[in-house]
Structure 1
Amino acid sequence: MADLFKVRNYAGHPVTVKAKTGSHVYYVARIKVTGPIHGNLSGCRFWYTEKSTEYRQQLDCSTIVRLGKPLEDEK
């Protein structure tokens, strides 16, 4: 996996992926933990548009949560 601090931030920009191909774009989420953690996050939901139709896709995935120093809020 690429160093996520050095890759381009695509947030707020459309990403086009051709049918039957992959993408070089990684999806990254920042979460705020508000209670005890009892395991990894699971399930990924994506919303996307193809031509003029909007879709929602639910995929199996697993995400490891690592606790550390809180991130600075972006201003």
Structure 2
Amino acid sequence: FTLQNDTIIKCNGIIHDHDPKLNDNVQVVLTGIKRRVLADVDVPIGKIYEEEVKKFRRVNGSAATIPVFDA
């Protein structure tokens, strides 16, 4: 940090105290998964995840980027 009159005027370090911004499509899928997990408490999360990813790929194509979590 470079200070001038007790004010930060320059910062050389990069500090990320937040999650990286996700692609809008990915955010929609994750929001859908969260919504369904809360609404469909009797359905296993893995099944909800697979269904939401399939729905995403039908709309956006199979080459679209989506986080994939192996069980």
Task: Give the TM bin, normalised by the shorter chain.
Answer: under 0.3
Q: TM-score, normalised by structure 2?
A: 0.22
Q: By percentage of residues, which structure has more helix?
A: 2
Q: TM-score, normalised by structure 1?
A: 0.21
Greater Rg, structure 1 or structure 2? 2
Q: By percentage of residues, which structure has more strand?
A: 1
